[in-house]
Structure 1
Amino acid sequence: MTAWTGPTPTVRPIQFVTDLPTWRRFYTDLGLVGTGEDADGWTVLAAPSGRVALHAAARGGPLEGRTKLGLEVDDLGAYRDAVEAAGLPARPVTLGHGSALEVRVPGIGSVVVDRRQTPAGAAPVTPAVLSVVGLVHTEAVLEGAAAASRLGFRRRITSDGGGWADLVGHGILGLHAGEATTVDGTTACEISLEVGDLAPLLGKVTESGLQAHLIDEAYGRTLRVTMPDGSELWVNETQRDLYGYHVEEETQETR
């Protein structure tokens, strides 16, 4: 086992939307803040742990309503060295916004890693702070979780049946058993949020005029907030009931 020596990755899903100002207001009402990383048709918002990027999409176009998984790190060169030392290929690519890495991750798929422009969103994941979750559906949850630990994520909770695993870095990477999908050839995901106590957030959401309701799931409470497109964003309380799950003892190491 080789200790992870690279930068800690930040979870930063990219959500394609047709009304950027409305979606930006939605996330700021939930407690995310602007980072100043704005361009034509692009903005990044940060929770204390993890970030969300909004990308303008054409109404009725193939990207409308889609979200893909993205990661960010402070130093692309150091991250590439660490990922390759962990046994995963990391290919430099040049995209419209600049240099990035593309990493092929077993059980997850192709993931693009960008350089993080500001320190916003780099707090550790704890129940005390709001965290962004990038939720990936995969037919190979355990393979994906093992591979993600070679990206610098630390394994946290895994279901005994192998249908769920989550890992933490800056933000949370969740893996759920299901059909894998892609967006523009890279791994698709869903966005959710996590915090230790939903009560303060429920008050904030209510004051903002958003529609939301609390649900008691088997693993804990979830606040379901109606998004601008009519679907629901799930905000989960940090899981405390571990019946049917186990906490991984893994430190930030790679196998």
Structure 2
Amino acid sequence: MAQLGFEVRDLEIFASRTVADGTAAEIVHREHQTSVEVRDRDGLSFFVNTAEPLESDPAADGRLSVNMLWLTPDVPAAITDLSNIGARLLKTADNGHIADFAAKNSGKIMAHFAKTAAHGPLGFGYHGKVEELLERLLAAGIDAHLIDESYGRTLHITNPDFADQPSNPTGPTIWVNEEDQPDQYGYTAPSGTAPQAARLDRDSN
């Protein structure tokens, strides 16, 4: 499975503000880098590293973003901890089992109810019609199909690396969620706000 993690510009400011907001965080010196270790209320922990500037690929589709899954027995606690590190709440499921957050430079963190806390698989989001991706994938000879359900539309792609790398972060299937779906039945956005991009850079305040 993938490991939940983030990047910020200033580790000390991030750690200080996260602790001040009520979530455990401390600077740790790892083998190859210095990070902030965040320890969540459900027992899960993850690392926050210093952001490294990367050159963007002009050929990349800017509508595609990364989705990370956090499995937790305590979704309200995950909501608190994600808010305390600077992520922005986008919406929650009316049954209380799901909460979606956004980070600064696109990408989404999804807290889903599970019996035990764990890092979930890596997935993706697409701000457009997933049929566009499906056509491109099939034309390239990649196995994929569309799942259209009442709570959302998702593209399922057979992971070509799974046979040789079964421990890779996506598992046997790569999921791509269609992000801009008008029907948000079963979900509620925070009062007075609309889903929007957020910032995780706690030091940018």
The answer to whether TM tops 0.5 is: yes
1:176 shift after superposition:
0.8
Letter in 1 for 2:185: Y
What is the TM-score normalised by the length of structure 1? 0.63
Letter in 2 for 1:190: P
1:119 shift after superposition:
4.5
1:233 shift after superposition:
1.1
Instruction: Tell me if structure 1 keeps the 8 A contact 2:73–2:117.
Output: no
- Structure-1 residue corresponding to 2:10: 75
Q: SS of 1:137's equivalent?
A: strand
- Structure-2 residue corresponding to 1:243: 185
**Residues 178 and 120 (structure 1 numbering): CA distance in 2 closer, same or farther, change over 3 Å?**
farther
**Residues 97 and 181 (structure 1 numbering): CA distance in 2 closer, same or farther, change over 3 Å?**
same
- Structure-1 residue corresponding to 2:162: 229
1:108 shift after superposition:
6.4
Instruction: Tell me if structure 2 keeps the 8 A contact 1:220–1:240.
Output: no
Unmatched 5+ stretches in structure 2: 57-61, 164-171, 200-205
1:1-255 residue pairs with structure 2 within 5 A?
A: 66-107=1-42, 109-119=44-54, 129-169=63-103, 170=105, 171-182=107-118, 188-196=119-127, 197-227=129-159, 228-229=161-162, 231-238=172-179, 239-249=181-191
Q: SS of 1:67's equivalent?
A: coil
Distance (whole Å) between structure 2 residues aligned to residue 248 and residue 120 of structure 1: 34
**Residues 250 and 177 (structure 1 numbering): CA distance in 2 closer, same or farther, change over 3 Å?**
farther
Q: How many residues get paired?
A: 178
Letter in 1 for 2:162: D
Unmatched 5+ stretches in structure 1: 1-65, 122-127, 183-187
Letter in 2 for 1:229: F
Instruction: Tell me if structure 1 keeps the 8 A contact 2:70–2:112.
Output: yes
Cα RMSD (Å): 2.4
Q: Could you list the per-position Cα deviations for residues 156-186 of structure 1 after superposition, in whole angstroms to 9, with x for gaps in the alignment?
A: 010111011110013110011113344xxxx
- Structure-1 residue corresponding to 2:168: none
Q: SS of 2:35's equivalent?
A: strand
Distance (whole Å) between structure 2 residues aligned to residue 160 and residue 201 of structure 1: 30
- State the structure with bigger RCO (CA 8 A, min sep 6), 1 or 2: 2
Distance (whole Å) between structure 2 residues aligned to residue 240 and residue 102 of structure 1: 37
Q: SS of 1:97's equivalent?
A: coil
Q: Could you list the per-position Cα deviations for residues 111-147 of structure 1 after superposition, in whole angstroms to 9, with x for gaps in the alignment?
A: 11111212468xxxxxx72110111111111221122
Distance (whole Å) between structure 1 residues aligned to residue 33 and residue 123 of structure 2: 27
What is the TM-score normalised by the length of structure 2? 0.78
